[in-house]
Amino acid sequence: MRLATLRQKKSLILQDADSLCDAPGSHQIQPAHFTPDYWRERALITGEAPGRGSSLFLQPTPGASTQWVLRPYRRGGLIATLSHSRYLWTGLERTRAFREMRLTASLFSQGLPVPRPIAACVTRHGLTYEAALITQRIPGARALADWLNDASLPDETLNHVLASVGRMIRRFHDHGLDHVDLNARNILIDTPGTPWLIDLDRCRLRRPGKWREANLQRLERSMRKFDSTISIYPIFQGYRTTS
């Protein structure tokens, strides 16, 4: 993976040159590619994911075999009443988009199950900036929350998936990743049942500590919002599996 920085007027783009070379016709990425209107005007939006910011599923070019996910950065809480998309500028490499892009690229290069990062864009407006991130879509993947809500799913199958989730989290923890928003929507399960971790905004690499337990507790609270009767024992069982 070869990360390269481009400047386009007021915008700075950090892109994976290899990914863009593999996508015919899209290697000259522009700030417009990070706006929903660009894709909407070309009828290349194939769907969207729930959550803050309304991540969009994109077809990079007509007939492309792979899809992208466009996620604009959006504020939550009370600060969103002042601005839902502007952040304080403290330097390019401290922007949320560049930090997430570099972290995701590092984990992806180590073979960890994260979506391949395509590009991040930061547009500066004086003392503030706006940003967006594009990643490759995982084919056939559904959020863990959807699996929890699937009443037709046999308990044995769900428990197997949850154990796989536990093993996945352990892999990331062993690499030092503190996922500050580990919840049932930021874990995706693909068609073969392999779990993936998404949305690494504000995440960081750390030495082992109590944050690991805090990650698991946050996930437990999230899962119980979707199913208060769910047993998370399979996740802990998988987490303790070191093989």
- Amino acid 149 reads N
Which pLDDT score is estimated for 24? 47
What is the rounded average pLDDT of the residues 153-181?
96
Q: Is the pLDDT of residue 148 over 70?
A: yes
Confidence band for 18, pLDDT divided at 50, 70 and 90:
confident
Which pLDDT score is estimated for 21? 63
Architecture of domain 142-239: Orthogonal Bundle (1.10)
Residue boundaries of the structural domains of the chain: 3-136, 142-239
Q: Which DSSP category does 85 fall into?
A: S
CA–CA dist 15, 117 (Å, integer)? 8
CB atoms closer than 10 angstroms to residue 190? 14
Run of H or E residues at 168: helix 155-174
Q: Which residue, chain included where needed, has tokens 């996945």? A: 168
What confidence tens digit (pLDDT) does each residue in 32-80 have? 999 999 999 999 999 998 755 579 999 998 888 899 999 999 987 556 5
CB 176 within 8 A of CB 206: yes
CB 131 within 8 A of CB 72: yes
What is the rounded average pLDDT of the residues 152-178?
96
What is the rounded average pLDDT of the residues 229-237?
94
Q: Is the pLDDT of residue 23 over 70?
A: no
Annotated catalytic residue within 22, 146, 181, 227: 181
Residue 181 is a catalytic residue: yes
What confidence tens digit (pLDDT) does each residue in 121-131 have? 999 999 999 99
CB 225 within 8 A of CB 154: no
Mention every residue, 6+ apart, whose C-beta is less than 8 A from residue 54. 36, 48, 72
**In the β-sheet with 142-143, what is the strand arrangement from edge to edge?**
142-143, 187-189, 195-197
- Which pairing describes strands 128-136 and 68-72: parallel, antiparallel, or unpaired? antiparallel
Run of H or E residues at 233: helix 233-239
Q: Which residue, chain included where needed, has tokens 């993976």? A: 1
- Tokens representing 20? 């863009």
Phi/psi of residue 122, nearest 5 degrees: -125, 125
Q: Is the pLDDT of residue 156 over 90?
A: yes
| pTM for the model | 0.93
Q: Is the pLDDT of residue 115 over 70?
A: yes
What confidence tens digit (pLDDT) does each residue in 208-231 have? 999 999 999 999 999 999 999 999
Mean pLDDT score of the chain:
92
The C-alpha angle 130, 145, 59, rounded to 5 degrees, equals 50
Which pLDDT score is estimated for 241? 87
Q: Which DSSP category does 54 fall into?
A: -
